[in-house]
């Protein structure tokens, strides 16, 4: 039997070792998070839930996603419907006219509630730009920190807002998020997810909603401010009566 030299054995050993995986990209992290949180269920399932005494419905209509908000006031039922860029209001099933300025405000409000409830699904919308800022620890746990901005085209009226998301490096679930907004005088918010539950394959959470004590703080530092106890708890955002149907 021919003898194999020691240097050759070392080279063979090195060649057979597993090549270390490169760091994940922001897109890969978001994709993994969406898969874990509901994946295709976001597209082919209809959902409904209660938030602040109003019912919110997400459903498919001819292959397109439709968002609704239903308010019941004594004998009156008001149903607001958002279809892509269109808005309609019905009072007891009768279509009523709404001024354009108010229609935009109502549509944005409906879209905002559904956006947060459906996270992280919306992070793959066409107008979304994702940037991995590295890793950051919150509460002694390590997270991928991703910055999200929006294109003006397709980014909505709040396209200038900046969002941050913290994804668990093992489960890829978004445990925290923050955003810097400009409407109504502007400000910053930081949200901590809690009360996680899955309903028919889709992940839902509630949030503790915090605000920065100063307007001039850097949004990129808000996770550290939270960790130091330097944010103020503003409210809790809770949804109830969740239903998920494959209609």
| Averaged pLDDT, 127-133 | 94
Are 234 and 210 in contact by the 8 Å Cβ rule? The answer is yes
Residue 82 has pLDDT above 80, yes or no: yes
Report how far residue 35's alpha carbon sits from residue 13's, in angstroms, rounded to the nearest whole number: 36
Please provide residue 159's backbone torsions phi and psi, each rounded to the nearest 5 degrees: -65, -20
DSSP symbol at 182: -
- According to the model, what pLDDT value does residue 154 have? 54
Instruction: Give the predicted TM-score (pTM) of the model.
Output: 0.85
- What is the DSSP secondary-structure string of 57-99? EEEEETTEEEEEEEEEETTEEEEEEEETTEEEEEETTEEE---
Sorted by where each begins, the domain ranges of the chain are 22-245
Enter the tokens of residue 12. 């063979």
Question: pLDDT tens for residues 151-187?
Answer: 866 545 555 789 999 999 999 999 999 999 876 667 8
Question: pLDDT tens for residues 236-246?
Answer: 999 999 999 98
- According to the model, what pLDDT value does residue 215 have? 72
Selected from 2.50.20, 2.60.40, 1.10.60, 1.25.40, the CATH number assigned to the domain covering 22-245 reads 2.50.20
- According to the model, what pLDDT value does residue 1 have? 43
């Amino acid at each position: 039997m021919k003898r194999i030299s020691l240097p050759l054995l070392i080279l063979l050993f090195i060649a057979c070792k597993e090549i270390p995986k490169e760091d994940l990209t922001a897109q890969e992290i978001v994709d993994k998070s969406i898969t874990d949180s509901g994946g295709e269920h976001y597209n082919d399932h209809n959902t409904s839930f209660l938030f602040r005494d109003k019912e919110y419905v997400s459903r498919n209509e001819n292959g397109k996603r439709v968002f609704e908000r239903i308010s019941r006031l004594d004998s009156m039922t008001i149903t607001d419907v958002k279809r892509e860029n269109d808005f309609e209001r019905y009072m007891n099933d009768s279509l009523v006219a709404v001024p354009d300025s108010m229609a935009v405000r109502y549509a944005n409000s409906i879209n905002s509630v559904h956006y947060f409830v459906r996270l992280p699904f919306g992070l793959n919308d066409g107008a979304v730009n994702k940037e991995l800022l590295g890793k950051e620890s919150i509460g002694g746990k390590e997270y991928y920190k991703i910055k999200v901005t929006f294109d003006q085209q397709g980014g909505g009226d709040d396209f200038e807002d900046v969002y941050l998301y913290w994804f668990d490096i093992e489960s890829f679930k978004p445990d925290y998020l923050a955003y810097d907004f400009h409407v109504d005088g502007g400000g910053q918010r930081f949200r901590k997810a809690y009360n996680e539950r899955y309903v028919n394959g889709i992940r839902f959470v509630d949030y503790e909603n915090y605000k920065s004590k100063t307007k001039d703080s850097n949004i990129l530092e808000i996770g550290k401010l939270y960790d130091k106890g330097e944010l103020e708890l503003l409210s809790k955002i809770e949804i109830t009566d969740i239903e998920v149907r494959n209609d």
